[in-house]
Amino acid sequence: MFQKLSIAAAVAVTALASPAIAQDKEAPAPIAIPAPPAGKGQIVFYRPGGMGFAVGCSVNEKGQKVSSLGAGKYFIMVTEPGRHEFSVKSEAKDTLALEVEADETQYASCKIKMGFMVGRPDIRPATEAEFRKSKLKMVDADDMGPGEGALRPEQVAAALSGAPAAATPAAAPAPVAPASPQQ
Amino acid sequence: MHWQLLLASVVLVGGAMSMPAVGQDATVAAASECAASLTIPALTPVRLELLAPLGSKISRSGDSFPIRLAEPIVVEGVVLVREGTTGMGEVVHAKKAGGSGSAGELVLAARYLEVCGQRLRLRSMHLSSNGKSRTDTVNALNVASAASPLPVGLFGFMIHGGQVNVPQGTIAEAKTAEIFPPAATADARQVP
């Protein structure tokens, strides 16, 4: 009798727990990208997972590191409108120039392609749809460059919540937090 | 014969009468375009036609290319800039497709239209595109190579990605970058 009751209780607990498990398995919430500050533009750099996870893809502009970009990571760079040229380097160097527009968000991806000794990072323009396909996490603040450029996680969180950002190495994002469609 | 001559004279007279009318319409349009009584707001959408073939293989970063207004800019029912007005765009970034499956890349920007001797600056022409990347194919080949006694992965260096080709006549969307004419901006600033 006791055994039967125990089994029934276990089944009931399992039944109660199953919705929670199902919730855990649901797709994660889409990544929220804050709008850039008024008059500025931004670029979302990301690196889908896959081959070459051990090879770095450090994004630089004018010789200054903007941020490292590990496999499955992304970061947001707020910058002035105009032409910007970015480079990534390992065994070989690759560059990408983008036209940053005020109040708009653009996307760029880094993939590791085959090289002679190690993989070669390949940086290229991308779209928001491509960005949304990948399962990504934001780059840790420790891996971001020392100068202006990549938004720290707390700055992104502040921008999304509408709270004023703390002291910023880059310009503070606008306190509006819609999903940012490419305009 | 008499009827034919009469018909021909009617056609000639009719044509001669109607020509000035067409010319007047054009003058009115030109006058409205340059009179600056109306202004074109910033971020007005424009449709442009690319007048040159572009591509990741044939274009170089920094190249200029001609563009033309595909549809007139109309403000409050008045045609302020006529269809066919020409201007320039710029290749911001061009990279040929390469080995290891890397695709060609092309980033283009619209710069300006020539309107009444002034430049109407443009922005936001999102016509960036990539060719077909085959890096995943090359990576799969490398994985297969690891299980093979032959170095088949080396063939990956010979696999090229696809090029980007933007044919002449491609239509692209862009926006005006500022209030036009610029004098209108100054007037707007003076108004308290």
Residue-level pLDDT at B38: 80
- Please indicate if any CB of chain A lies within 8 Å of the CB of B92: yes
- Please indicate if any CB of chain A lies within 8 Å of the CB of B145: no
Residue-level pLDDT at A151: 93
- CA–CA separation, A43 vs B54, rounded Å? 25
Within 8 A by CB and 6+ apart from A9, the residues are none
Cβ neighbours of B130 in A, within 8 Å: 124-126
- Is the pLDDT higher at A118 or at A162? A162
Confidence of residue A53 (pLDDT cuts 50, 70, 90): low
Residue-level pLDDT at A162: 77
Residue A44's DSSP bridge partners are A76, A107
Residue-level pLDDT at A116: 63
Residue of B nearest to A84 (CA): B92
Cβ neighbours of B129 in A, within 8 Å: 125
Residue of B nearest to A115 (CA): B100
Residue-level pLDDT at A149: 82
The answer on pLDDT for A176 being more than 60 is no
Residue of B nearest to A111 (CA): B135
Please state the ipTM of this predicted complex.
Answer: 0.72
Tell me if A50 and B103 make a contact (CB, 8 A cut-off).
no
To test the contact with chain A by mutation, choose from B64, B105, B125 the residue with the greatest count of A C-beta atoms within 10 A, namely B105
Within 8 A by CB and 6+ apart from B30, the residues are none
Residue of A nearest to B156 (CA): A114
Buried b / exposed e over B87-116, threshold 16 CB at 10 Å, is bbbbbbbbbbbbbbbbbbbbbbbbbbbebe
Q: Is B105 left (phi over 0), alpha (psi -120 to 50) or beta?
A: beta
Find how far residue A28's CA is from the centre of its chain.
14
Q: Is residue A111 in a domain?
A: yes
Q: Is residue A20 in a domain?
A: no
Cβ neighbours of B128 in A, within 8 Å: 98, 125
Residue-level pLDDT at A177: 38
Cβ neighbours of B135 in A, within 8 Å: 51, 111-114, 122
Q: In what helix (H) or strand (E) does residue B63 lie, and over which residues does it extend?
A: none
The type of residue at B28 is V
How is residue B167 written in tokens? 């044919």
The residue ranges of DSSP E strands in chain B, in sequence order, are 45-50, 54-55, 64-69, 73-75, 78-81, 86-95, 105-115, 118-123, 129-130, 165-166, 171-176
Residue A33's DSSP bridge partners are none
- CA–CA separation, B51 vs B64, rounded Å? 11
Residue of A nearest to B161 (CA): A113
Residues A5-22 have a mean pLDDT of 48
The answer on pLDDT for B104 being more than 50 is yes
Residue-level pLDDT at A93: 86
Residue-level pLDDT at B6: 44
The answer on pLDDT for A146 being more than 80 is yes
* Tens-place pLDDT, residues A108-126: 999 887 666 667 888 999 9
- Is the pLDDT higher at B78 or at B142? B78
Q: Is residue A23 in a domain?
A: no
Q: Is residue A34 in a domain?
A: no
Give B105→chain A minimum CA distance, Å: 7
B36-190: in CATH 3.10.450.50: no
**How high is the mean pLDDT of chain A?**
78
Give A96→chain B minimum CA distance, Å: 7
Q: Is residue A172 in a domain?
A: no
Residues B78-103 have a mean pLDDT of 90
Nearest to A89 by CA among A66, A116, A122: A122
Residue of B nearest to A96 (CA): B93
A119 contacts A88 by C-beta, under 8 angstroms: no
Q: Is residue A26 in a domain?
A: no
Residues B160-172 have a mean pLDDT of 88
Q: Is residue A25 in a domain?
A: no
CA distances from A103 to A57, A80, A183, B91 (A): 27, 10, 8, 21
Counted domains in chain A = 1
Name the residue facing A114 among B95, B128, B139 (closest C-beta): B139
Residues of A with a Cβ under 8 Å from any B Cβ are 50-51, 83, 95-99, 101-102, 104, 111-115, 120, 122, 124-126, 182-183
Residue-level pLDDT at A112: 86
- Please indicate if any CB of chain A lies within 8 Å of the CB of B135: yes
Residues B36-43 have a mean pLDDT of 85
Q: How is chain B split into domains, by residue range?
A: 36-190
Tell me if A114 and B103 make a contact (CB, 8 A cut-off).
no
Q: Which range is most confident: A116-120, A134-138, B157-161?
A: A134-138
Q: How big is chain B, counted in residues?
A: 192
Residue-level pLDDT at B26: 42
Q: A72 lies in which domain range?
A: 41-161
Residues A87-111 have a mean pLDDT of 90
A71-80, A128-137, A159-168, B174-183: segment of lowest average pLDDT: A159-168
Cβ neighbours of A99 in B, within 8 Å: 92, 107, 109
Q: Is residue A4 in a domain?
A: no
